[in-house]
Amino acid sequence: MKLYTKLSLGLIFTLSFVLAAVGSPSNMASGPELDAELTARAKELAPMLSDHFCVLPGIEDRAFWEGGVMETQGPNLVRQAEKDLKEPVMQIPDELYLEFSQNGNRTNYQNALSRRNAPLGRLVMAECYENKGRFIPRIEEHLRAYFADKSWTLPAHDSSLNDFNGKETIIDLVSSATAWHLATVGAILGDKLSPEVRAELKAQLNDRCYEPFRQHIRTGQPKYWWVRNINNWNAVCLAGVAGAALTGIESKEERAWFLAAAEKFIQNSNEGYTADGYCTEGVGYWCYGFGNHIRLSETVRRATNGKIQILNQEKLRTVAIYGFTISILPGIAPSFADCGMNASPSHYLLAFLNRYYGFHLDGYDYALPVFSHNLVDFGIFGTNLPPLPAANEPGMATVGGGTPAIGNRTWFDSAGIMIYRPEGWKSALGNLQNGKETAAAVKALDGFACAMKGGSNGEAHNHNDVGAYVLVYHRTFPALDLGGEVYTRRTFSRERYVSDVLNSWGHNVPVVAGQLQKPGAKYKATVLDVTSTPETESLKLDIAAAYDVPEVEALTREFVYHRDKVRFTVKDAVKFTSPQKFETALVTIQSWKREGNAVIFGEGADAVRAEIEVTADGKPSADWTITEGTYEADFSANKIARRLGIVLNGEVKEATVTVTYRPE
């Protein structure tokens, strides 16, 4: 999620080191029976918990806070914290929160919240390194700013303003993460904070996180839909609530109750991934949603001394493999669904998963720690404390086994996603922590990388994009998916597909008889053929069902990847019952020019030629034009993105449009 990237950057379990299978997720309604179930489970879990827990050591652990990565990062942190002291704690006016309810803008408040909150993690880490007390007053000032907030929830998730007006406590993506973050601050600093601030922090966490969640489980009020949902909210919010409770609640029995709830309801997240592990919400949401699944599991693993491991099941091992196989090149992934065009699986998540499951994949065994100002992430991914055991040792995953085979081709059969990689792509893996090194190695690869999408238009964070594709050459994108738009009130409303980035006009797919694709699960692709030979790879889709056009008798899209000739061909073939209009599209952010029956994208060594061939009613045709379109939606590349429509000038009963890409 674009917002959360700014703010913070989303069973089968083992009991007493014995793998225990659990059935399908239970979504028992809230009430006494559910509370009794969790209470009974909590009695089994409580003995596994230590007296106190936090993902980071307390400030009194001088060996930690003065050694390791802090030995080198500490002085720089102090310098940054000293700069923070020169600026007052930012005040966020109510007017910014109210903008969403008034005009649908969510960005202004979110940006302001991010700027105000950013210094707190740095200040805490600087204080822990220096241990002189001089940053404590400013830390407490930041905490009081949180205490004074009318809501910890985003205005986009409080459209009724019930949380803002004190009528209801909403737990959302950000308020749950806030609770975990502040509980971590309190646990690290302990009695370095004043008694008044410690008492108020405890009360705030109880009132804004612990008690509302308890009441939801016991009575169903407030209504937290995400508890039983299967999208990223489930993992993100459960991680925040359980992480805060395991960190900030004194009673082991109470902590165990929250752990029991998280252990039970995190199973719903598993349903949000296809059988082959694909995340239809997009790469960014895999990092966000599954990333928080990882955070929760690792926190629980540590809190129970390895006895409970939420990740230890075969389905989640498959979801983990997605993080490695979704990339079409090292550091580059297709931006299908709602994510940024530059989204790719986070290297620290891949490093953790490579170790946890014992994948032993070359190029992903990074040296930890990864330094972060985010206290929770630093504690989980940055310190590697306690040390992560080797796979299949006590306290580690026991499912699956062995190294996943990641070759030049990946086929997500359940999702209908195909990825082709050029020969030699593994040579570019290197150390993905070094972005410049990886970028240079990818740029040196002399071949195409591409991703093609079938699926349906009824997916989570759906775009109407059946048949879309992404093409990469020398780290440039002659054809791409534009990713998601900047979220507004419209984005998640009935008017979602008014957006010319989210509807099919914003994707490199046909417009059929003047009609765009329709949203909904029945508007989908059917896989007609998947063929692989040493020379070529091909995928053929029937995409007629993605359109609600009765006159369409047949509509197919065929992709052919020529390994031996460095070519990539996209062929659309349509047949109507009566003459109709037809066009297809090229979507790019590269400069372009037309040269006869070809379009040249980019220039110099990175240039790519797209040769266009058209037949109309069985004969070669030159009666077509290219129309350049721009975009109204607000997204990262809206100033440079172009839609090049290949428009057949007359109406046809049959037509083919073939676009062949090759290096220029």
Question: Cα(230)–Cα(389) distance, rounded to whole angstroms?
Answer: 30
**Cα 620 → chain centroid:** 44
The tokens 């129970």 sit on which residue?
Answer: 304
Query: CB–CB of 603/478 below 8 Å?
Result: no
The encoded tokens of residue 22 equal: 């659990």
pTM of the full structure:
0.92
The number of C-alpha atoms within 13 Å of 157 and in the hemisphere containing its C-beta is 20
Provide CB contacts within 8 A for 105, sequence distance 6+: 99, 488
Per-residue model confidence (pLDDT) at position 391: 55
Angle between helices 107-130 and 173-189 (to 10 degrees): 20
Backbone angles phi, psi at 464, to 5 degrees: -80, 85
> What single letter denotes the amino acid at residue 488?
T
Question: How many residues would you count in the chain?
Answer: 664
Do residues 582 and 575 make contact, with C-beta atoms less than 8 angstroms apart? Answer: no
Q: Which domains does the chain have, with CATH numbers?
A: 2-312+346-382 (1.50.10), 409-663 (2.70.98.70)
Contact 305, 17 (CB under 8 A): no
Give the pLDDT confidence score for residue 542 in this predicted structure: 98
Beta-bridge partners for 537: 532, 561
Structural tokens at position 255: 């902590």
DSSP, res 305: T
Contact criterion met (CB below 8 Å) for 601 and 590: yes
Cα distances from 95 to residues 4, 105, 111, 144, 164, in angstroms, run 21, 11, 14, 20, 12
Are 447 and 420 in contact, with CB atoms under 8 Å apart? no
Residue 529 is given by DSSP the state: E
304: exposed, middle or buried (Cβ count in 10 Å: 0-12, 13-18, 19+):
buried
Which runs of E-coded beta strand occur in 25-84? none
DSSP string over 379-430? IIIIS--SPPPPTTSTTS--SS-S-----SEEEETTTTEEEE--TTGGGG-S
Q: How far apart are CA 522 and CA 155, in angstroms?
A: 33
The per-residue pLDDT for 19 is 26
Quote the pLDDT of residue 348.
87
The residues with which 655 forms a beta bridge, in sequence order, are: 574, 616
Are 266 and 238 in contact by the 8 Å Cβ rule? The answer is yes
Q: Using the 8-state DSSP alphabet, how is residue 484 labeled?
A: P
Which among 570, 641, 653, 579 has a CA at the least distance from the CA of 610?
A: 570
Positions of the chain with pLDDT lower than 70, given as ranges:
1-27, 366-370, 383-396, 431-433
Provide the pLDDT for residue 267.
Answer: 97
Element (H, E) at 51: none
460-417-500-616 Cα dihedral, nearest 10 degrees: -140
- Annotate 195-236 with DSSP letters as a single string: HHHHHHHHHHHIIIIIHHHHHHHHH--S--GGGG--SHHHHH
Cβ atoms within 10 Å, residue 593: 11
Other C-beta atoms closer than 10 Å to the C-beta of 627 total 11
Q: Which of 321, 385, 354 is nearest to 56 (CA)?
A: 385
Angle at 136 between CA 130 and CA 137, to 5 degrees: 140
Structure confidence at residue 434 (pLDDT): 75
Cα Rg of the chain, angstroms:
26
* Gap between the Cα atoms of 541 and 170, Å rounded: 44
Nearest in space to 358 (alpha carbons), one of 316, 320, 392, 307: 392
Q: Other C-beta atoms within 10 Å of 664: how many?
A: 18
pLDDT of 13: 25
- Nearest 10 degrees: CA dihedral of 394, 400, 406, 407? 140
